[in-house]
A and B are shown apart, each in its own frame.
Chain A
Amino acid sequence: MEITASLLLQQLFVGLALGAIYVLVAVGLSLIFGLLGVVNFAHGAFYMLGAYVAVYVYGLTGSFWACLLLVPLAVGLLGLLAERWLIRPLYGRGVDYPLLLTFGLAYVLVDSVRMVWGVQGEAFATPEALRGAVDVGFGVFPLYRLFLIGLCAGLLLALWLFIEKTRLGLIIRAGARDPLVLKVLGIDVGRIWLLIFGLGTALAGLAGLLAAPLRGVNPEMGGSVLIEAFVITVIGGMGSLVGAIVAGLLVGVVVAMTTLFQPEFAELAIFALMAAVLILRPNGLFGKS
C-alpha cells in the first residue's frame, strides 16, 4: 500500500470523526467527575444504551432526526434516576463506593439489553440524507463523518456558552470549585449534581447513537469505549473539559493512524500514549497539580 498525502488526510479525518465521539463520551465523564467526584463506570453502558434506544426509536419512527432528539432525552432520564436512587445515598462515603456501584450498574444494563435484544447485535444504517461524500475544496469526505464533527463542535460550543454565560452555568462552575460555599449561599447542590449526571449520561447516549452507523450496535460496545474514555481523561487531566476535548481528538487521530500503518498496534498505541503522559505529566496535559 502506498502512503500518499491524500490517504493520510483521509485517515486524519476518520480519526477526527472517531475523536468527536470520544470527546462526547469523555466530556460527560469529566463533567460528572469534576462536580460529583464520581467515576462513572456505567458510562460505557449508557453509551451502549443510546445506540439501542436509537435502534428502537428508528424502528418506530423511521427517522434519524427523531433519534437525535429522543435518545439523549431517554438516556439522560435514566441517568437522572440512577443518580437519584443509587448514587445519591453514597455521597460522603468515599470515592470508591460510587465507582463499585456504577460498575455493578453497567453489568445490569448490559445484561438487560441482552435480555431484550439478544446477544447478536443490530445493524444501524447511515441516515439517507447523510450518505455519500462531499468535496470540501481540499478533498472528498464522507458526509456522515462531516456531520458528526460539525454536530459535536456545535454541541461543545453550546455547552461552553451554557457553562460560561448562563446563571446556571455560573452555579455549576462554583459547585466544581467549592460545593460547601454553594450550600451556604442557599443553593440546592443536590439538584445541580442530579442535573449534571443527567447531562453527562445524555451526552454518552448521544455518542452511542452517533457511533451506531459507523461501528454497529452490540451489548459489549460500551466496554472498550469506557476504557478509551478513561485513557482520554487521564491524558487530558481529570475533570478538565478542555483536556477531554484535546485528548479525545488526539486519541481518535492516534487510533486512526496506527490502524493505517500497524492495525494490530491500534489498541496498544493509546495505552503507550497514556503511559508517556503519566511519566511526563502525572496530572494529565491540562490537569491542575
Chain B
Amino acid sequence: MNLLSALTPAATRHRVLLSIAVLALFPLLMPFHALAINILLFGLFGAGYNLTFGYTGKLSFGHAAFYGTGAYGCGILIATHQVPWPVAIAVGMALGGLVALLIGALAIRTRGIYFAMVTLALAQCVYFAAFHATSLTGGDNGLRGVNLPALQLGSWRLDLLQPLNRYYFMLGFVAVAIWVLSRILNSPFGAVLEAIRENEQRARASGFDVERTKLLSFVISGLFCGLAGALSAINLATVGIDMLSYHTSGQVMMVTLLGGMGTFFGPFIGAGTFLAMEHALTAVTERWQLIVGLMFIGLVLFFPKGIWGSLLARIDR
C-alpha cells in the first residue's frame, strides 16, 4: 500500500499517458473486439458525462440527447449526403454541443434538483422530435447505411471492417479527447467547476460567474458526448432511436457511478464492467433490467464511490 500511495502522485501527473496506454493494450487482452470498441466509446460518453455529474456535481438526466444528436448528425451526413467522415464527425460533435447549449440555457436557470427533471424532460422532447422526423432520422426503424468501410490516404488503405483496426482508429479520437479533458480539469476553469460542486454559494461569493461556468461545462460535456455518439454511429453503421431515449441517459449515469464519479479513468472502468456484464448476462437471462436496477440500488446504498473511486480512496489511506 505504501508503495502504491507513493506512486499515485506520479500516476496522477501522467494520467493521460497511462489511460491511453491501458486503452491501447485493452483489445490485445480482450478476445471480443467488437465489445472492446463499444466499451471504448461508451467510456468516452461516460467521461463526457462525468464532467457534468462528477466534476461540476450536477445530476443531468439529459445526456442521451447530446449522444444521440451527435450520432444522428454524423450518421445522416455520411448515409444520405456522402459527406467526408472528418466533416461528419466534427458536425456531430458540434451538434452535441449545440443541443447542450439549448438545453443548458433553460435548465441552468433552475436550482438544485429541478435540474435533473428539466434535463430529462427536454431530452425527451429531442427524442420525440427525432422520432417523428421520419424522413430525416428513419424514426422507429432507425437510420441505416452509416458506412465507413476503409480509410484511404493516397495509396495507403486501412480496412475498418477489421475490428482491431477500427478500435485503434476510434482510439485516436478518444486519446485526443481525454488529453483535452485532462487539460480542462487541470486548468483554473476545472478548479472553478470543483469549487461549484463543493459549495455553489461560496464559489459565487468568491466572484465566479457560477451560471456561465456551469453552462460552459455543460456545453463542453455535450461536445464530448456528441463525439462519442458520432463515433458510435460509424462503429455500428446504424443509429437507433434508443440512443436518444432516457434509458441511455440512465446507462451513462450507471457507468459513471459504477466506475466512480469524479474520477478520471472511472467511466472507462465502469463502461468495461457494465458492458461486459451486459454481454455475459443477457446471454443467460432475460432479466437484465432487473439486474441493472438492483445494481443501482446496491451502488447507492453500499458503494457510492464506485470501483475506481473506492480503489483510489483505499490507496490514499
Binds A, one of B21-29, B120-128, B155-163: B120-128
Task: Say yes or no: A230 contacts B112, CB within 8 Å.
Answer: no
- How many residues on A have C-beta within 8 angstroms of the other chain's C-beta atoms? 42
**Interface residues in A111-138 (C-beta closer than 8 Å to B):** 111-112, 114-115
Contact flags (1/0) for A76-111 with B, using CB distance below 8 Å?
A: 000000000010011001011101110111111111
B292 contact set on A, CB distance < 8 A: 104, 107
Binds A, one of B43-51, B82-90, B186-194, B293-301: B293-301
Task: Say yes or no: B296 contacts A95, CB within 8 Å.
Answer: no
Chain B interface bracket (under 10, 10 to 19, 20 to 34, 35 or more): 35 or more
Known: A90-B300, A107-B289. A268 touches B129 (CB 8 A): yes
A110 contact set on B, CB distance < 8 A: 289, 293
Nearest-CB distance from A176 to chain B (Å)? 15
Q: Is B117 positioned at the interface, with any CB of A under 8 Å from its CB?
A: yes
Pick the most buried of A86, A104, A227: most chain B CB atoms within 10 A of its CB: A104
B304 contact set on A, CB distance < 8 A: 93, 97
Known: A99-B113, A107-B289, A267-B128. A274 touches B297 (CB 8 A): no
Pairs of residues from A and B, 10 with the lowest C-beta to C-beta distance, nearest first: A104-B296, A107-B293, A108-B293, A271-B125, A111-B290, A111-B289, A230-B117, A101-B300, A282-B109, A267-B128
**Interface residues in B277-307 (C-beta closer than 8 Å to A):** 287, 289-290, 292-297, 299-301, 304
Residue of B nearest to A45 (CB): B293
**Interface residues in A242-278 (C-beta closer than 8 Å to B):** 264, 267-268, 271, 274-275, 278
Q: Which of A95, A115, A227, A271 is B290 in contact with, Cβ under 8 Å?
A: A115
Nearest-CB distance from B247 to chain A (Å)? 9
A103 contact set on B, CB distance < 8 A: 250, 253, 296
Interface of B with A (CB < 8 Å)? 59, 106-107, 109-110, 112-114, 116-118, 120-122, 124-125, 128-129, 132, 246, 250, 253, 257, 287, 289-290, 292-297, 299-301, 304
Binds B, one of A54-62, A190-198, A231-239: A231-239
10 more A-B residue pairs beyond the given contacts A37-B113, A107-B289, A278-B109, with a C-beta to C-beta distance below 8 A: A99-B59, A99-B113, A101-B296, A107-B250, A108-B297, A227-B121, A227-B246, A230-B120, A234-B117, A271-B125
Q: Which of B117, B128, B297 is A105 in contact with, Cβ under 8 Å?
A: B297
Q: Which of A104, A106, A264, A282 is B300 in contact with, Cβ under 8 Å?
A: A104
